[in-house]
Amino acid sequence: MGSTADKAKGLANEAVGNVKQGVGKATDNDKLRAEGVIQEKKGEAQQAVGKTKDAVKKATE
């Protein structure tokens, strides 16, 4: 998986995580809010992987 794909998936997971948190908060659903936090953090980590791959690629060019 390329760095662009990592970053795109990371952004998507972060966005879905934020939505889950919002819905969980609005419906007073702590489980959904927790799932949203986890998914958001997963998305942030995926974006970091993509950025690291970009940095490594640039360094080796």
- DSSP-assigned letters across all residues of 15-39: HHHHHHHHHHHHTT-HHHHHHHHHH
Helix pair angle (30-60, 3-26), 10° resolution: 160
Q: What is the pLDDT of residues 26-54, one digit of tens each?
A: 999 999 999 999 999 999 999 999 999 99
User: Does the pTM of the predicted model rise above 0.75?
Assistant: yes
Q: Which residues contact 52 (CB under 8 A, 6 or more apart)?
A: 3
Token representation of residue 8: 């795109």
pLDDT higher at 27 or 61: 27
Task: Show the domain range for 26.
Answer: 3-60
Q: Using pLDDT thresholds of 50, 70 and 90, give the confidence band for residue 1.
A: low
Q: How many domains does the chain have?
A: 1
